[in-house]
Structure 1
């Protein structure tokens, strides 16, 4: 297939890493490796663009440029990754209407709640327009699937579980020994956490981890906390960690994604609350490497962590429950190891990206065939 690809929220190559960018990149890479001609047709970022009227001219010009570029049936399908009220797709629907192209959205999101606010209503209206124009909308979240059914018929919706390449996140015993020596972990259990140090829920989540570990330290528990990531809030987190944990914490800095398996291999459990986390790729990665997870029972986390089998999910902001879950896995070696084995199997069974994207590929081919069979397309 010849595919026009557009990511209105965060274009590929954006300097700020995130799970959203990882998913977009994995989608793009998978389709290219399968032999499809995937063209990035625009890098225009639409985040809050409706409150930046000076950029509307750019949108109009982009539509004209892309329509001209794609005229003459140079592509078979348009694929937009992630449209929602903050960053609606303002280009794809009109271009596809003009050129009679199948319009597919991966990771569409719909919420009527945001229609009530003056600040977010323009984005709600524009995102709704994009969703209604789509031939097919795919999502990797069950909650989004439920919400989208309030707007679209089920035949235009499909759910695909989120995935990773398990082969890239496998426990490595050599890496484990190397990391533990580097950290001077000794016989201590290692709690691993990872996030970007942004001034938002990521840093709030890391603060929760540090504070929880501080309470456990004062209770007499032995462990080492290893924190991976970097960002503007680094000094704030370092200062708090020094106060709460002294020499029982290590900041590794940012680690390239293809080396994260080494971090996970050196750990014994992965702890990160994931405040309102829509998905959380780190939970997939950590489990794939055989680490049980402690996190909040909110957002998309229950869709990737099997509570009681591959990890423990607690009521959000219930600090005592969160602490108890960490202590349970910290002190019960047998349960921790059993959960880790189940976690690795769980990812390979349900969240294997190759298997899930093979289904995506078939759905895209069906969308192309369906559009070609329409009378107006002949």
Structure 2
């Protein structure tokens, strides 16, 4: 089947790396692995970061015109080249889908959405236009894939009818991370040689872009938490880059010379080895949807200490694959990190549990097995 794919928040080929971009690409690859031909329908971004009503109105006009153009373009194709399904990844009040509902209705094809969310408090707020559009699109969808329990609960009030709303856990290809975990010793030696890290100390790792939003808040909390652990031996590896890098470096500088190593942005093919070389993933996870970096760290055999915010508890099993603490509580975070720093055997057992959990629940093979019957059913629903 030919599938038209759209990601209104950020297209899968966007130049700035992020968990959202990785998940969009993963969905495209997943659809291809199921035997479908996937076309990126549009790179149009409907994202409005600040709640600007005029900007949202302008984006709505552009989106409606683009949708009309897409319908004309598709109708000009031979029947065998027409999309048999429209798939939109990640729509919500800040990034509504102006294209998918129009095109799928005009072509009479199923409309499928993944990682959609509904925040009722935005109905009359600065994103009211985006909220109304995203809510209408979600209500129109033949199949809605919620990636966290929190999102599924919110969507239940919008998605009516049986078989349309399903929990679909975030996923990744665990094979590179499993291979990296098996070669941990050599990966650790390479990182030590490149960075000057002490191989006798535990290495903490944080992976996140450096932006002046919730990411920066997480970095602030991480700095406060680690400052309370000055009496322990540890070093921190920070993976990521962005416009707030100078601020992040300033926040972590008081931890002491030699404590923190910045890698900058790391290409995807090198990330698995870097994670496997470390001992513990640490991230406060402020306003995280779920955190792809936390999933990747566990796939590489690392336990996680994170804030129990958003959908983090959907991917980190508290007490088994890591420790979840009260959101935005640096002292509780420090206590959890201290617990695992002082107990290498517990870290090891949690790391093994993390790999097993991610392989069983979040591997691409599990996602493939979930998605195939859901897409088949969605075609019947639309028909």
TM-score, L = length of structure 1: 0.93
SS at match of 2:249: helix
Q: 1:8-42: CA deviations, max 9, x gaps?
A: 11112112211111111011122224331111111
CA contact (8 A) 1:3 1:37 kept: yes
Does 1:90 find its partner at 2:103? no
Taking structure 1 as reference, are residues 236 and 370 closer, same or farther at Cα in structure 2, changes over 3 Å only? closer
**Structure 1 residues without counterparts, runs of 5 or longer:** none
Question: Mapping of 1:359-378 within 5 angstroms?
Answer: 359-371=370-382, 374=383
What secondary structure sits across from 2:98 in the alignment? coil
SS of the aligned residue for 2:41 comes to strand
> Alignment partner for residue 189 of structure 2, among 131, 153, 177?
177
Aligned to 1:151: 158
| CA distance in structure 2 between the partners assigned to 1:137 and 1:76 by the alignment | 17
- Cα 1:337–1:89 change in 2 (3 A) is same
Match of 1:212 in 2: 225
The alignment status of 1:115 with 2:128, answered yes or no, reads no
- 8 Å Cα contact 2:60/2:98 also seen in 1: no
By how many angstroms is 1:134 displaced? 0.9
Q: Does the 8 Å CA contact 2:64/2:98 hold for their aligned counterparts?
A: no
Among candidates 141, 145, 149, match of residue 142 of structure 1? 149
Q: How far, CA to CA, are the matches of 1:319 and 1:60 in structure 2?
A: 46
User: C-alpha separation between the residues in 2 aligned to 1:341 and 1:356?
Assistant: 21
Contact 1:162 / 1:353 at 8 angstroms: preserved in 2? no
Relative distance call for 1:184 and 1:99 in structure 2 (3 A) is closer
Indicate which of 279, 283, 287 corresponds to 1:268.
279
Deviations 1:154-204 (A, max 9, x none): 421111111111112121222122223333313111111111011111122
Q: What's the secondary structure of 2:166's corresponding residue? A: strand
Alignment correspondent of 2:44: 44
Deviation at 1:50, TM superposition (A): 5.8
SS at match of 1:116: coil
Residue 207 of structure 1 and its aligned partner are, at CA, apart by: 2.3
Cα 1:50–1:79 shift into 2, 3 Å: farther
Shift of 1:205: 1.1
Contact 1:190/1:225 (<8 A) preserved = yes
Which of 343, 362, 366 is equivalent to 1:351? 362
Task: Give the equivalent residue in structure 2 for 1:68.
Answer: 72
Residue 240 (structure 1) aligns with: 251
- Cα displacement (A) at 1:125: 0.9
Partner of 1:199: 212
| Greater mean alpha carbon deviation, residues 327-336 or residues 232-241 | 232-241
What TM-score comes out, normalization by structure 2 length?
0.92
- What SS does the corresponding residue of 1:250 show, helix, strand or coil? strand
User: Residue 155 of structure 1: SS of its match in structure 2?
Assistant: coil
User: Residue deviations 1:44-66, cap 9 Å, x none?
Assistant: 11113863244444323312211
Aligned residues: 369
Q: Distance in 1 between matches of 2:294 and 2:109?
A: 36
Q: Deviations over 1:331-353 (max 9, x none)?
A: 11111111111111111111112
2:5 matched residue in structure 1 = 5
Distance 1:50 1:130, change over 3 A: farther
Give matches, 1:242-321, under 5 Å: 242-321=253-332
- Separation in 1, partners of 2:151, 2:64: 30
Residue 211 of structure 1 deviates from its aligned partner by: 2.5
Match of 2:27 in 1: 27
8 Å CA contact retained: 2:224, 2:330: no
SS in 2 for 1:339: helix
- Using a 3 Å threshold, how does the CA distance of structure 1 residues 341 and 10 change in structure 2: closer, same or farther? same
Find the aligned partners of 2:199 and 2:4 in 1 and give their Cα distance: 52
Q: Distance in 2 between matches of 1:47 and 1:301?
A: 23
Change (3 A) 1:241 1:358: same
Query: What is the CA–CA distance in structure 2 between the aligned matches of 1:60 and 1:42, rounded to whole Å?
Result: 13
CA contact (8 A) 1:197 1:229 kept: yes
